[in-house]
Amino acid sequence: MRSGTVRRGDSLSSEWGKMVLAARALAVRYGVVVLMALSLGLIVLGKADVKIYDTIVRRAGDIAAPALATLKEPLSTLRDMANAMGSILALREENQRLREDNRRLLVWQAEATRLAVENDALRRSLKMPPHPGAPLWLTARVVADPGGPFVNTALIDAGADAGVQNGMAVVDDHGLVGRIVDVGARSARILMLTDLNSRIPVLIDRSHDEAVLEGTNGRQPELRFLPMNPSFKVGDQVLTSGRDGVLPQGLRIGKISEIRDQHVVVTPYVDWDRLDYVAVLVRQPLPTPEELPLPASDAAVSAPAAGVAKPVERAPTRGQSGPAARTGGRAE
Amino acid sequence: MQVVVQTLDHLARRILPFLTVAITLLFDLLPLTTLASDAVRPSLTIVAVYFWTLYRPDLLGSIVLFLLGLVADAVAGMPIGMTALMLLCIRAMVMVPQRIVLARSFLGGWLGLALVTLSVQFLRWFLACLYALHVFPIDTVLVSSVLTILCYPPVALLLGRANVEIDEKRHATGN
């Protein structure tokens, strides 16, 4: 009796073992196919704009950002050292060039000061509200940039916790990089101005022609929706027009580098290969007409007529938005 | 105590393929200087996955590749599933009986990588075009593939050394 139970138990365990082995063989044989089908299904689902995808992507960004930042540091140092070796050799020429730049910029500084005084006087005489000034910004480090021809996005190590919001403009010391399109707690994604999905309303500095800068996924975006008789030419500077109400007006983007048929190619100022640190411009809420300050003489005349007894207060100050810890100052 | 150390050492060696693929994935995501214009870079992940599937497929399973691919897509901002599909395609292409022939010689391995790289990069380009309903330039994909193929010798040298470490341990323990 006892030996019979043992035998039955043995046969059961051997059958169980066979089943496990068969399942394992099936998994090895067809596992790749099943997972490939699953991957394809996920790609199709992603096209349907499922909300949980955004959450997963944000979480993944938050988790990966510190690891990428740590891994990037020694590699960036190595790259900087290699670059420094090259620049030491060209120190004499660079010094001469910087002296020349300094002389030229001093002339421009004097001119800018004169123009600012003149601009203020003209604004006062036209009773225009004062210029809002340069926006506040916070600095972030670019920790991931997959590159490649399919997406032009980058991950930065500052998110909602630092005050980053969707739609904020991102610049480096050369010009506009792009705008924030996805925000996690500790990371955010920049949609570069070269991405296929990027559309930025722009203004040509010299000719005042307006257009839309469209990304091509290459290094050089193109101008679309051009005016009927444009008067721009190669070399003209392209700035943000601020027409979308999202990006601030007057941010430098690049120069028109080529005009052929209907294609107007813009070369951005940003050095895409050295995008280590960027500034996220903290968006300022537009003041309502009631919040705008009135010139003293105008207020004295209009207030009694409108039946308003006290003067209108200023719009919320820029210093109130964005955490002070990360806020670096004003963009130049 | 010695048993614990031995077990940990054994585990560390077994996860070596996973670790190297994870590092190459992170490396591919880092914002480093590009080798060619238009942000074209080699894909070290393709080389690492190809190498381990060729020499040690038992240590880098399909599920691991699938999960790594999903994480890479989420971090890179690519459509979720794109990289996972690419990595699984590499495994499906390499896991054929003929891989023994490829694995015997360095040149055979290199030629195999060239074939696999061109195939999966073209597949990714095709899927990306379908996804975005836009024809992306194929030349950047070709340049990236060539750079990836050129990266094989140094990466294979490093991974080959890691493979020897795993094998040495296997011989030592008799597994």
Q: Is pLDDT at A43 greater than 50 in this prediction?
A: yes
A119 within domain boundaries: no
> Which amino acid is located at A36 in the chain?
M
A247 within domain boundaries: yes
Cα distances from A262 to residues A223, A224, A226, A258, in angstroms, run 9, 9, 9, 11
Task: Return the CA Rg of chain B.
Answer: 17
pLDDT at B28: 85
pLDDT at B171: 52
Is pLDDT larger for residue B78 or for residue A315? B78
Q: Is pLDDT at A307 greater than 50 in this prediction?
A: no
pLDDT at A12: 60
**CB proximity under 8 Å: A 143-202 to B:** 143-155, 182, 189, 196
> Which amino acid is located at A73 in the chain?
E
pLDDT at A237: 93
Q: Is pLDDT at A320 greater than 70 in this prediction?
A: no
Cα distances from A145 to residues A126, A281, B65, B141, in angstroms, run 47, 20, 21, 17
What does the alpha-carbon distance between residue A164 and residue A160 come to, in Å, rounded to a whole number? 5
Average pLDDT over residues A169-177: 92
| Optimal mutation site among A30, A40, A43, A179, interface B, most CBs of chain B within 10 A | A43
**CB proximity under 8 Å: A 102-121 to B:** none
**Per-residue confidence at A299, pLDDT binned at 50, 70, 90?**
very low
B134 → chain A, closest CA residue: A196
How many structural domains is chain A composed of? 1
pLDDT at A285: 59
**Per-residue confidence at A264, pLDDT binned at 50, 70, 90?**
very high
Q: Which residues of B touch A159 (CB under 8 A)?
A: none
Print pLDDT tens along chain B (175 aa).
778 888 888 888 888 999 999 989 888 887 765 544 456 788 999 999 999 999 888 888 899 999 999 888 888 888 889 999 999 999 999 988 777 777 778 898 899 999 999 999 999 999 989 888 888 888 888 998 999 999 999 999 999 988 888 776 555 554 4
Nearest to B88 among A35, A45, A64 (CB): A35
Average pLDDT over residues A100-115: 91
How many structural domains is chain B composed of? 1
Is pLDDT larger for residue A268 or for residue A69? A268
Q: Which of A25-34, A230-239, A301-310 has the lowest mean pLDDT?
A: A301-310
Q: What is the DSSP letter of A70?
A: H
Q: Which residues of B touch A57 (CB under 8 A)?
A: 74, 77, 80
pLDDT at A290: 64
Domain of residue A139 covers 135-281
The CATH number of the domain where A264 resides is what? 2.40.10.340
pLDDT at A284: 63
Task: Return the CA Rg of chain A.
Answer: 29
**Per-residue confidence at A146, pLDDT binned at 50, 70, 90?**
confident
**Per-residue confidence at A317, pLDDT binned at 50, 70, 90?**
very low
The CATH number of the domain where B115 resides is what? 1.10.1760
pLDDT at B155: 92
Q: Which residues does B86 contact at the CB level (< 8 Å), separation at least 6?
A: B46, B69, B120, B123, B124
CA A259 from centroid of its chain's CA atoms: 27
A142 → chain B, closest CA residue: B31
A257 within domain boundaries: yes
pLDDT at A131: 66
Q: Which of A86-90, A197-201, B7-11, B140-144 has the lowest mean pLDDT?
A: A86-90
Q: Is pLDDT at A319 greater than 70 in this prediction?
A: no
pLDDT tens-digit series, residues A274-285: 788 899 998 765
A63 within domain boundaries: no
Share of chain A above pLDDT 90, in %: 25
**Per-residue confidence at A308, pLDDT binned at 50, 70, 90?**
very low
A66 within domain boundaries: no
Q: What is the mean pLDDT of chain A?
A: 78
Q: Which residues of B touch A76 (CB under 8 A)?
A: 32
Domain of residue B165 covers 2-173
Q: Is pLDDT at A147 greater than 80 in this prediction?
A: no
* A50 C-beta neighbours (distance < 10 Å), count: 13
**Minimal CA–CA distance to B59: which of B49, B73, B47, B72?**
B49
pLDDT at A306: 38
